[in-house]
Chains A and B, each alone.
Chain A
């Protein structure tokens, strides 16, 4: 019975994380010694502390909440301790799939944008990315911004990401898939995007 209750708690954490619902709550992930997710009125999630197994996080990443792969690992660990086998694995695998989806989307963005005009204009001609010499290096920069950056949905199906002075704009309607550059007005430019 106790195990069943703990498993239900783990499932509830997944549901709340996915649906972003509920008033401000603090929930433990299985064993209370693990990191705790705090969900506010807006549905945003934060950790009460950094998961010591997952390395350092930027402040913006902490504001956005736990990366899906961390959530998956925590769930998997919690569920395996309780001995729920396949059902627990299914929940953890779902979160892992989300993590893989995020990673693949970032990789695709990096590949598409770095293969287009943005490299020639913003890397080669204007030199906005000192130290970046190849399209592959440019793709890595874009991938990191999309994976870890702040996201703003824009008009016409576009999305903008901001991290460390770099803006990436994804545009599914553009042949290049978007662009990436270092705006002169920095974060104000990012906030001014519509």
Chain B
């Protein structure tokens, strides 16, 4: 797996260039964080609400489905 991530920012938007493998890791990490960290502690440790993390997980899941297939 590559150890670098290309990105450029335009205001609030950041465009990342990641490999498929890195994308799976990002999506999996969000999913694991939602699973492992309890509701009361989530926003303190992540700086975001759990509902927002669920939205990101869904968006990443949709993206992974769209750009498949995966080997």
Q: When each residue 13-32 of chain B gets 1 if its CB lies under 8 Å from chain A and 0 otherwise, what string results?
A: 00000000000000000000
What is the bound-complex CA distance between A178 and B40, given in angstroms? 9
How many chain B residues touch A (CB < 8 A): the figure is 8
Q: Taking chain B's interface residues, is the majority helix, strand, or loop, or is none over half, making it mixed?
A: helix
Q: Which residue of chain B lies nearest to A175 when distances are taken between CB atoms in the complex?
A: B40
Q: How far is the CB of A29 from chain B (nearest CB, A)?
A: 39
Q: How far is the CB of B71 from chain A (nearest CB, A)?
A: 30
The number of chain A residues touching the other chain, given as a range, is 10 to 19
Q: Which residue of chain A lies nearest to B42 when distances are taken between CB atoms in the complex?
A: A174
What is the bound-complex CA distance between A117 and B42, given in angstroms? 12
Whether A174 pairs with B47 at a CB distance below 8 angstroms is no
Q: Which residue of chain B lies nearest to A122 when distances are taken between CB atoms in the complex?
A: B41
B-chain residues with CB within 8 Å of residue A75 when the two chains form the complex: none
Whether B43 pairs with A171 at a CB distance below 8 angstroms is yes
Within 8 A of B (CB), among A70-118: 116-118
Whether B44 pairs with A174 at a CB distance below 8 angstroms is yes
Whether B40 pairs with A174 at a CB distance below 8 angstroms is yes
Q: Which 4 A-B pairs rank lowest in CB-CB distance, beginning with the nearest?
A: A171-B44, A155-B47, A156-B47, A117-B40
| Between-chain CB contacts (< 8 Å), 26 pairs | A116-B40, A117-B38, A117-B40, A117-B41, A118-B41, A121-B38, A121-B41, A154-B47, A155-B47, A158-B44, A158-B47, A169-B44, A169-B45, A171-B43, A171-B44, A173-B43, A174-B43, A174-B44, A175-B40, A176-B40, A176-B44, A179-B41, A179-B44, A179-B45, A193-B45, A194-B47
Given contact pairs A156-B48, A171-B44, A176-B44, a sample of 15 additional A-B residue pairs in the complex whose CB atoms are under 8 Å apart: A116-B40, A117-B41, A121-B38, A156-B47, A158-B44, A158-B47, A169-B45, A171-B43, A174-B43, A174-B44, A175-B40, A178-B44, A179-B41, A179-B45, A193-B45
